[in-house]
Structure 1
């Protein structure tokens, strides 16, 4: 993978990927969401937060991914990369098969590619204002871009705590959880996401499309 950073180009091939789930800072809201999902058949997590183990090969910077059928969707998340002793912050999408979630959340995450933006910030440069960073996403519906997620990282558990809980080694990456979907989680083939730092005006942006593959049985 290749990234633009304040220190120049960075090339790396992560060997470990963790996808953190149930990372909302409001525990009562997280518990309520767990109950809602349980009512439609999604198994409750064994712990909160939970660190799903996924293949690092799922990380991609391609403008198009492929997924089975039309039941998958993206969600914007802070992205952590440890490389050469440094910690970097970026942006990724935890694209997930929603139908498979009712069988296993872990399997639903492992089956989909994880698009990653091509820009990173040094974690140390923003660590004192992480809560003020703004996370947004949009999906295309009926030909128009529609707001899908909008909030600040203050809604997510502190990223330093998530990193400590995941015990990330060097050359590892982590997706750190997300924000609620405006209007509810739903599939879309076109997805845009953004991480914005209002203190500097810097923004990380990325977009991708999903090709829906036929389910042949």
Structure 2
């Protein structure tokens, strides 16, 4: 997979994908996210945070993914990649099957592709201001783009702590968790997200469509 950076591009050979869950820095916010998922039938986690392994092939730069049925939606998350000993920061969506999530969170993560933006920022150059970086997402509802998430990386546990806890090795990518959905978690076909550095105005964008495959019994 090829990513663009400020100084060129890198060819990333993905050997491991980790999806970090329940990573909120504010314990009350984590509990709120647990409760909003419980409202749609998702069992609470055994501990927080949790690290789910999913297939390497799920990380994708494609702008169209295929999902089973119409009960899935995305979550905007920081993406950390370790390539040739160096850390990079990007933007991805932990697209999840909400119906399957009520049965198995791990299975709901594995069944859906994880779209990511093709731009990366050098992690070390941002480390002093990571908490201020803004992440927003939108879903299309009734033909209109509706704000779905609005927060900062500062609402997520320190990324260095997550990197250490996940033991992120070369060739690994980690989706680092998210924050609550405005109006509650719900299914959506079209998803858009941005990650903005308020100090420089630089922005990474992501947009994709999840095409529903028919459920045949």
Greater mean deviation of Cα atoms: 197-206 or 23-32: 23-32
TM-score by length of structure 1 reads 0.96
Q: CA separation in 1, counterparts of 2:78 and 2:51?
A: 14
CA 1:206–1:213: 2 relative to 1, 3 Å: same
Tell me, what secondary structure is at the counterpart of 2:209?
strand
Q: CA separation in 2, counterparts of 1:32 and 1:206?
A: 26
Q: CA separation in 1, counterparts of 2:40 and 2:59?
A: 29
Q: CA separation in 1, counterparts of 2:167 and 2:76?
A: 22
Structure 1 segments of 4 or more deviating over 2 A? 31-41
CA 1:32–1:150: 2 relative to 1, 3 Å: closer
TM-superposed deviation, 1:32: 4.3
CA 1:182–1:23: 2 relative to 1, 3 Å: same
Q: CA separation in 1, counterparts of 2:2 and 2:111?
A: 23
Tell me, what secondary structure is at the counterpart of 1:31?
helix
How do 1:1-217 residues align onto structure 2 when only pairs under 5 Å count? 1-35=1-35, 37-38=37-38, 40-217=40-217
RMSD over equivalenced CA pairs, Å: 1.2
Structure 2, unaligned runs of 5 or more: none
TM-score by length of structure 2 reads 0.96
TM-superposed deviation, 1:63: 1.0
Tell me, what secondary structure is at the counterpart of 1:18?
strand
Q: CA separation in 1, counterparts of 2:211 and 2:51?
A: 28
TM-superposed deviation, 1:56: 1.1
Kept in 1: contact 2:4–2:119 (CA 8 A): yes
Q: CA separation in 1, counterparts of 2:183 and 2:38?
A: 19
Q: CA separation in 1, counterparts of 2:79 and 2:4?
A: 14
| Equivalent residue pairs, number | 217
